[in-house]
């Protein structure tokens, strides 16, 4: 029978459609891939040596032996920009804020056709360390309330370029969904005196059935109330509300954990399109005891339709426990 499940953290309900559920291997992604057989592409704006041909304003870089290995640039077509003065306007019921903010691209590698699943642990470490560095810097800017670090992999995830890259968007507001999630976490803490994410880790590591990986400092799981097939979180075991408070030891552990998880997806589901997002506490909330940063990973294996748009709920045509078992058993 199908059942409704509620996410303990955010109180969102999803339908787990067991009667029409597919087996995990039915989600192997055979759709067209955004891939290349070239390690260098002369027409790629992110490949080394093409910087003059495709100029970008660089904001930061990491170098080795006089060459960049990671760098961040302003998005050529930014959703928001710090060059726009921050202005707030309200006319009757109509409220606007100027398009002030930050939109950067992080070029993750010199190699055109690689991806984190195929990188070394050390290469992924450098990416995570660079995420932290950029967020620390952006947090200092005036009128920035929330920073989103995310990665789009593949056409269905919104990517248009093969070259491995992530993005950072920094906003002058706290988005409604983010605020609601933080407030739900605060309510749980007020009622129970404990972080709801810490409670989730405690309960899931006891049961094991939805755990994919567990390392010294992190645990990954397919969610009990997963909104789509293989919808997963990677959470730090240590309570910390802000991603930028990650330690060097945790960076090393997360790099191996994240790379391994993505490689399991790559091998098990034939390099599916996916998004991952680092969810952290809004800047104005500072360090706190009720929120807990994490990474959410959403393989793009299904599409939203009328019901999802009309209800705000999702129908998941897979069983989370079976998805987790499938990933656990993928050898990497």
The model's pLDDT over 228-275, given as tens digits with 9 standing for 90+, comes to 999 999 999 999 999 999 999 999 999 999 999 999 999 999 999 999
Rounded to 5 degrees, φ, ψ at 124 are: -70, -35
Q: What is the DSSP string of 230-281?
A: T-EEEEESS--S-GGG--HHHHHHHHHHHHHHHHHHHHHTTS--EEEEEE--
Distance CA 268, CA 26 (A): 11
Whole-angstrom CA distances from 259 to 32, 123, 187, 262 are 23, 10, 34, 5
pLDDT tens, 197-234? 999 999 999 999 999 999 999 999 999 999 999 999 99
Give the contacts of 69 (CB within 8 A, at least 6 positions apart): 62, 63, 109, 110, 126
Rounded to 5 degrees, φ, ψ at 246 are: -60, 140
The CATH number assigned to the domain holding 58 equals 3.30.428.10
Provide the number of structural domains found in the chain. 1
pLDDT for residue 309 is more than 70: yes
pLDDT tens, 32-91? 999 999 999 999 999 999 988 888 999 999 999 999 999 999 999 999 999 999 999 999
pLDDT for residue 306 is more than 70: yes
Distance CA 44, CA 51 (A): 10
pLDDT of residue 139: 98
- Domain containing 131 equals 3-328
Q: Specify the DSSP element, H or E, that contains 197.
A: helix 196-207
- Are 229 and 323 in contact by the 8 Å Cβ rule? The answer is yes
Q: What is the mean pLDDT of the chain?
A: 96
pLDDT for residue 25 is more than 90: no
Question: pLDDT-derived band of residue 120, with 50, 70 and 90 as boundaries?
Answer: very high
pLDDT of residue 125: 98
Q: Is the pTM of this model over 0.85?
A: yes
The token pair at 332 is: 């990497």
Q: Are strands 13-16 and 3-6 parallel, antiparallel or unpaired?
A: antiparallel
pLDDT for residue 19 is more than 90: no
Catalytic residue ranges? 165
- Are 203 and 187 in contact by the 8 Å Cβ rule? The answer is no
pLDDT of residue 257: 99
pLDDT for residue 23 is more than 90: no
């Amino acid at each position: 029978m199908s059942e409704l499940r509620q996410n303990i953290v955010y109180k969102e309900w999803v339908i787990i459609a067991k009667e029409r559920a597919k087996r995990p291997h039915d989600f192997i992604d055979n759709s067209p891939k955004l891939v290349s057989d070239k390690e260098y592409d002369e027409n790629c704006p992110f490949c080394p040596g093409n910087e003059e041909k495709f100029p970008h304003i660089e904001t930061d870089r990491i170098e080795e032996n006089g060459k960049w290995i990671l760098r961040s640039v302003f998005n050529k077509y930014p959703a928001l920009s710090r060059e726009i003065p921050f202005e707030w306007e309200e006319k009757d019921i109509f409220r606007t804020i100027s398009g002030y903010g930050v939109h950067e691209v992080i070029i993750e590698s010199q190699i055109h056709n690689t991806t984190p699943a195929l990188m070394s642990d050390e290469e992924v470490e450098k990416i995570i360390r660079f995420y932290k560095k950029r967020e620390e810097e952006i947090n200092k800017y005036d009128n920035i309330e929330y920073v989103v670090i995310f990665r789009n992999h593949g056409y269905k995830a919104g990517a248009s370029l093969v070259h491995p890259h992530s993005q950072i968007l920094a906003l002058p507001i706290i988005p409604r969904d983010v605020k609601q999630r933080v407030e739900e976490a605060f309510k749980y803490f007020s009622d129970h005196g404990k972080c709801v994410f810490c409670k989730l880790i405690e309960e899931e590591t006891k049961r094991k059935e939805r755990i994919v990986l567990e390392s010294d400092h992190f645990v990954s799981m397919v969610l009990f109330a997963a909104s789509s097939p293989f919808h997963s979180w990677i959470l730090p075991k240590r309570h910390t509300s802000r991603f930028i408070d990650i330690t060097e030891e945790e960076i090393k552990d997360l790099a191996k954990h994240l790379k391994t998880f993505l490689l399991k997806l790559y091998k098990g589901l034939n390099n599916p399109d996916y998004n991952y997002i680092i969810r952290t506490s809004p800047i104005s909330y500072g360090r706190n005891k009720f929120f807990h940063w994490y990474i959410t990973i959403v393989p793009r294996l299904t599409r939203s339709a009328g019901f999802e748009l009309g209800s705000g709920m999702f129908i998941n045509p897979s069983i989370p426990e079976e998805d987790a078992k499938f990933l656990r058993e993928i050898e990497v």
